[in-house]
Amino acid sequence: MIHPVETIPGAADCGLLFICDHASNFVPPEYGGLGLPAEPFERHIAYDIGAAAATRLLAAEFGAPAVLSCFSRLLIDANRGADDPTLVMRISDGAVIPGNAGIDAAERQRRLERFWRPYRDAVGAALDRLIAAGPPPAIISLHSFTPVMRSLARPWEMAVLWDSDARIAAPLIDELRADGVITGDNEPYDGALEGDTLHQHGTLKGLPHALIEFRQDLVGDAAGVSLWAKRLAKALTPVLARPASHMISHHESRTARPARS
């Protein structure tokens, strides 16, 4: 059986962890492809295109550990809370998922224990190692979004999503925009999702964190991944180098956060 988690080692005292919730489009053979043909597994509904490759490049660039899921979000979504109604999707972006349509509580629990929980536990274990060895680590979660949604083109090249803690997000948005990157601030998605990976391991533990989204048409091949991972690394470097005392020491209110153009 394929292990549900890939862990990339890194320097224990680096103060940084990369995670990738939707790294893979893999579904174990016994699930029969969830009743779907091959084509949907090449789409965003199955995984975040380019995100896994970018995670590996950034982990190598910073010498940091990384944790990646090894199962498709169509099987169970590693970035949803255990009680989230969208944890196992019956319909995704207009596509009916036959293998999920009749899922019962017992099968939902089996998927939680076999896939979702080992991934979440691996993130927690990686953070415990970092906390034991050095300064409180920052968590960077890597995702990607489709260039068009419901016939509307999305202009952002990258996006930074956050909830109540802007210690990473605010200066990172500034760095990316200064570099000419068209950057969404909680666009095209809002970063507030109770129970998601960053809520569990960042917000509730008081660790600085941010979720980064690449636009998928920009990271659809190795050259694109390399280019945009390097641009993110360039922006992240000065943000992560800031002493903790110079960062926002409290969780900003979403209503009180600075306005951004």
**To the nearest whole number, what is the mean pLDDT of the chain?**
91
Instruction: Tell me the CA distances in angstroms from 213 to 31, 210, 218, 219, one per residue in order.
Output: 29, 10, 11, 11
Query: pLDDT of 200-244, one tens digit each?
Result: 999 999 999 999 999 999 999 999 999 999 999 999 999 999 865
Task: Kindly tell me if the per-residue pLDDT of 34 is higher than 50.
Answer: yes
Span 177-189, mean pLDDT?
A: 97
Query: Any idea of the CA torsion for 161, 167, 172, 173, to the nearest 10 degrees?
Result: 60
Give the model's pLDDT for residue 244.
Answer: 54
pLDDT in tens, 74-84: 999 999 999 99
Element (H, E) at 240: helix 222-241
Residue partners of 102: CB distance under 8 A and separation at least 6: none
Q: What is the pLDDT of residues 142-158, one digit of tens each?
A: 999 999 988 899 999 99
Correct CATH for 5-26+47-71+118-246 of 2.40.50.140, 3.40.630.40, 3.40.50.10310, 3.40.50.300: 3.40.630.40
Query: Do 215 and 158 contact (CB within 8 A), yes or no?
Result: yes
Q: Which residue type occupies 214? A: F
Sketch the domain layout of the chain as residue ranges. 5-26+47-71+118-246
**Residue entry with tokens 């490049």:** 57
Token pair recorded at residue 25: 């489009």
Q: Which residues pair with 213 in a beta bridge?
A: 143, 159
Model confidence over 47-64: pLDDT tens digits? 999 999 999 999 999 999
Instruction: Report the b/e string of 159-185 with b at 16+ CB within 10 A.
Output: bbbbbebbbbbbbbbbbbbeeebebbb
User: Would residue 244 be called left, alpha or beta, if left means φ above 0 and alpha means ψ between -120 and 50 degrees?
Assistant: alpha
Rounded to the nearest 5°, which phi and psi values hold at 206?
70, 20
Pairing of strands 95-96, 91-92: antiparallel
93-128 pLDDT, tens digit each? 777 899 999 899 999 999 999 999 999 999 999 999
39 CB-near residues (< 8 Å, 6+ apart)? none
Total count of residues recorded for the chain: 261
Q: Residue 163's closest CA among 203, 123, 205?
A: 203
Q: Which residue, 252, 127, 119, is CA-closest to 191?
A: 252
Tokens 């169970």 -> residue: 76
